[in-house]
Each structure stands twice: as C-alpha cells, then as structure tokens.
Amino acid sequence: MMDCTDRHCRYLMRLITRRALLYTEMVTSAAIVRGADPKRFLALDQSEHPVALQLGGSDPAQLATAARMAEDFGYDEVNLNVGCPSDRVTSGRFGACLMAEPQLVADCVRAMQDAVSVPVTVKTRIGIDDMDSEQHLDDFVGTVADAGCALFIIHARKAWLQGLSPKENREIPPLHYDRVHRLKRRFPALGIVLNGGLKTLPAALAALTDADGTQLDGAMLGRAPYDSPYMLADVDRTFFGDLAVPLPRAAVVDAYLDYAMPLIAAGARRHLVLRHLVGLFHGCAGARAWRQAVTRIGQEGGDPRSLETVAQRLGESRVLAA
Ligand SMILES: Cc1cc2nc3c(=O)[nH]c(=O)nc-3n(C[C@H](O)[C@H](O)[C@H](O)COP(=O)(O)O)c2cc1C
C-alpha cells in the first residue's frame, strides 16, 4: 500500500506471521529501470520471504527489465497493478485504466513472464467506468491468462476513473464477492484471490467459499492488517494449519527493535521505522497510550527501547484482564 507499507513494515508483519505472502506497495517500472538507485526500491531483508514485488507500468520491455531485476533481488513473485485508479497513474497509462486494454496487459505479462522464472500475477478490479460487465472481466482475464498469468487478485469492486478519488474508489463502489466466485467458476484452473473489505480473518475465510461450494484460492487483506498488524497472528493457524505459537506482542516489539535500532543508529529516520508499530495494540486496553508512546518517541526522540517496557506492561495487563 503506497505511502504505508515498506520493507520495515514487512519485517514487522513477518514477525507476526511466518506464512502469509507479503506484497510490496506499487513501484513503477520506470523508477526501477530508469531511476538512479534501483536498490532503494528493490532491497529486501531475507526475512521478508515469501514476498512479491508489485509493479506499475505498461511498457512491456521496461516491465520485463524491472521484473528481471526483481527476480535478481530475490522476490518470489512479480505482480502487475491493474487496479489503481489515481489520476497520476491513469495519465501515465497504468493501473486500473489498463482494464480497457487487455491485449496490452497480455503483452506486458508475456514479456515479464518470458524474462523471469518466478510467477507473474495480476491485481485488478471487477471493472472500470461503464466497462464493468461480466463478459468484459471474462475477456480480460482470459486474454491475460493466455499470455501466462495463472493467478489474479481481484479487488471485488469497480473503479470510477472520473469523478471519484482513490480513497472513494476503495469505499463507494459496492463490493461484489459473488462476481469473483463466478469468475472462479468460469476459470477453475486459474488461481483467483479475493480482495476488498475483508476486515477479520474469520470473515476472509468465510468469504472464500460461496453457497454453491465454489472455493477461491486466497484472500488479500490491505487496510485491516495495516491498521491492526497483530490480527495476522492467527493467519498461520487459520489459513495454513500451522500450529506454532505466534510471538506475543511484547516479544514482537523486542524483536522489531533489535532490527530497528541499528537502522536508526545508521541514520534511518526513526519516525519512518517506528510508525508501523503504532497499531500493534489495536483493540487492547492501553492501545491509546501505546500509540502515543510510539508517536512521541518517533517524532520527538527518546529511547525507542523504552517501548519494550510499555509493551511488557500492556502485555501483562492483558493477562490480568483475561
Ligand atoms: C493508502 C493505500 C495505498 C494503497 N496502495 C496500493 C498499491 O500500491 N497497490 C495496490 O495494488 N493496491 C493498493 N491499495 C489498495 C489495497 O491494496 C486494496 O486493494 C484495497 O484497500 C481494498 O482492500 P482492503 O479493503 O483489504 O483494504 C492501497 C490502499 C490504500 C488504503
């Protein structure tokens, strides 16, 4: 998620779930291929695996180069964004507006898939503007699948490219999970992953199967885990049957600070590194005090290690309250 996630965020998420596949925010192929410092966009910590890089772009050759660089850096998957509705993205001819150009998306996917051995996947919507019929989505998915894409993440609402802001486009057009299930029925051999409005893991799990028994291949969650990362502590058990006990929140804080302190000492902006901890106690007694402590230490200074004491205290008070 642009302006939210980064490699620090993924490090934190990975302390909480070992199995969930993590996606980067969208990075344009131009920034990677033509920018002065591709490492800035591509560097990753080994602990982030499995991790996918999401690319934005519509130039097949440039996307292929960016995908190859991503594979060289160690990404496990390369995903093409065909869902972002922002003006800036649309004027650059990438993101959701590409739903109107299935053949171009197919050319991009083919070029990328020819350049790498990791999977190339596509994240898209159920439609854009008046191009929102089931037939159009079928044609789009069929054309892109023929070019070598075997997995689609579907944000189950259309986007209005004129008149709605990106934020409104994540809230106003209604969600249609039924359309994603019907897509899966028509393309049973493709991986189809559901995205949009999934706020809890039980809700995500339930949404994967419809009344006819059609089973989707996965759920992608965006805002909910960003706001409340510890909800991911149940992912390994719920979705992967992995019964390993997740780290308690206070241990997550300790481990994250072990990672963050050397970065801060080396000059990383402490606010940018610490901000991902803000939601860690979301929904717990003391969440507000925690948010304030993280924000204060991030912005005003003070010893980040003091957060360990706060986290310990909150962890203990949860036990007392249980
Ligand atoms: C601040 C913000 C930034 C986002 N950036 C991206 C992005 O870079 N790439 C992408 O595919 N989707 C992006 N999205 C959309 C989310 O991935 C997701 O499709 C959408 O929020 C619906 O899922 P959710 O209800 O689980 O959040 C972004 C959403 C938000 C709120």
Region 296-312: mean pLDDT is 94
Q: For 7-240, which CATH superfamily applies? A: Aldolase class I (3.20.20.70)
Lowest mean pLDDT among 161-170, 234-243, 266-275: 161-170
Probe target for ligand 1 pocket from 170, 198, 226, 228, with the most ligand atoms within 8 Å of CB: 170
The per-residue pLDDT for 75 is 98
Q: What is the average pLDDT score of the chain?
A: 95
Which atom from ligand 1 is nearest to the alpha carbon of 167?
A: 31
- 317: pLDDT confidence band, cut at 50, 70 and 90? low
Probe target for ligand 1 pocket from 223, 226, 235, with the most ligand atoms within 8 Å of CB: 223
Q: List where CATH 3.20.20.70 sits in the chain.
A: 7-240
**Cα of 303 from ligand 1 centre, angstroms:** 33
Select which of 4, 9, 84, 108 is catalytic. 84
| 84 belongs to the catalytic site | yes
The per-residue pLDDT for 62 is 98
Q: Which residues line ligand 1 (CB under 6 A)?
A: 1-4, 25-26, 54, 81, 83-84, 123, 155, 170, 195-198, 221-224
pLDDT of residue 320 exceeding 70: no
Burial level of 119, CB count in 10 A (0-12/13-18/19+)? middle
Q: What is the pLDDT of residues 8-47, one digit of tens each?
A: 999 999 999 999 999 999 999 999 999 999 999 999 999 9
- 91: pLDDT confidence band, cut at 50, 70 and 90? confident
**Cα of 25 from ligand 1 centre, angstroms:** 8
**Cα of 48 from ligand 1 centre, angstroms:** 19
Q: What is the pLDDT of residues 42-69, one digit of tens each?
A: 999 999 999 999 999 999 999 999 999 9
**Cα of 78 from ligand 1 centre, angstroms:** 17
Region 237-245: mean pLDDT is 96
Q: List where CATH 1.20.120 sits in the chain.
A: 249-321
The per-residue pLDDT for 87 is 84
Query: What CATH number should be reported for the domain whose range is 249-321?
Result: 1.20.120
Look at ligand 1, atom 13, and give the residue with the nearest C-alpha: 1
Look at ligand 1, atom 3, and give the residue with the nearest C-alpha: 1
pLDDT of residue 112 exceeding 70: yes
The per-residue pLDDT for 318 is 62
Q: What is the pLDDT of residues 93-105, one digit of tens each?
A: 899 999 999 999 9
The per-residue pLDDT for 89 is 83
pLDDT of residue 1 exceeding 80: yes
